[in-house]
Amino acid sequence: MTHSILVIEDNPDITRVLQDILANAGYRPTTTSSGLDGLSAARELNPDLIVLDLGLPDINGGEVARRVRQYSSVPIIILTAVDVVDRKVDLLEAGVNDYITKPFDPDELLARINVQFRRQEQEAEAVLQVGELCIQVAQRRCTFASREITLTAREFDLLLLLARPPGKVRSRQEIEEKLWKGELPESSGVLEVHLSNLRAKLREVDAHGVIRTIRGQGYALQCSARDPEDLASS
């Protein structure tokens, strides 16, 4: 199958380069030059991946990514001339899968694209069952005892990480490295905020104590949620 890639980039010279790189690599590229046109194309074409410029003339790439994430889990790779830690964190929070700084190396870009497609293939049929908790990876859907849990992109990624495998203790450093690529500032409370929100949503469907805090070690996901000690730590 030939993968389709939507390129949202306002610089015509870079657009032509991207078209050539992607077409020569066997992909089917489609290009747009603004955020709004890109959003329309994303809905109409349902591409397999989006390469998204950060500095667009109407709405920035971060906002485009946020809007796409409201209805799709399509991989998004940001092209940016900004190499600032806080900005990268914002992009990851918006649900961006990866980013590459301009000027970019064509081989690196293709490698990053290939990583996203390999990940999709590996997870296409994956369903994780942890007790009554069911995580459908490709659909980015989560239920507990058949009750739907509506999660943000970051909350889903956090739950998925803890579920692979269930019971494995993940340190704060490990979680931040995997989900934020180590870009969070020291002493940031971002992870704790996401954990709190995730636990609150789990409690709404009676999934109490699913995520355990292991004092001095980190966090783990367990099959049973009925232990009073776990309820106290959730």
Number of DSSP helices (H) and strands (E) in the chain, helices first = 9, 11
Q: For strands 28-32 and 218-221, give the pairing.
A: unpaired
Question: Are 72 and 15 within one domain?
Answer: yes
CATH number for position 95 = 3.40.50.2300
pLDDT at 123 (0 to 100): 67
Residue type, 16: R
* 114: number of Cβ within 10 Å: 12
pTM: 0.58
Measured CA angle at 38 (ends 33, 42), to 5 deg:
150
Question: Are 155 and 132 within one domain?
Answer: yes
Structural domains of the chain, count: 2
Could you list the mean pLDDT of each consecutive 10-residue stretch along the chain, which spans 234 residues? 91 96 96 96 93 93 90 88 70 84 93 90 75 88 94 93 89 88 74 95 94 93 54 40
pLDDT at 223 (0 to 100): 62
Question: Are 134 and 78 within one domain?
Answer: no
Tokens of 117: 């497609």
Question: Are 169 and 201 within one domain?
Answer: yes
| Domain stops at, among 123, 139, 157 | 123
pLDDT at 181 (0 to 100): 76
Measured CA angle at 119 (ends 115, 122), to 5 deg:
140
- 3-state DSSP call for residue 230? helix
Question: Are 211 and 143 within one domain?
Answer: yes
How many angstroms separate the CA atoms of 159 and 156, rounded? 5
CATH number for position 215 = 1.10.10.10
Question: Are 132 and 155 within one domain?
Answer: yes
Question: Are 155 and 223 within one domain?
Answer: yes
Question: Are 11 and 119 within one domain?
Answer: yes
| Domain stops at, among 98, 123, 148 | 123
| Domain stops at, among 106, 123, 140 | 123
Question: Are 108 and 158 within one domain?
Answer: no
pLDDT at 232 (0 to 100): 37
DSSP 27: -
Structural domain boundaries enclosing 62: 4-123
Question: Are 144 and 86 within one domain?
Answer: no
Question: Are 44 and 92 within one domain?
Answer: yes
pLDDT, one tens digit per residue, over 163-195 is 988 888 999 988 988 888 767 766 678 999 999
pLDDT at 80 (0 to 100): 84
Question: Are 78 and 158 within one domain?
Answer: no
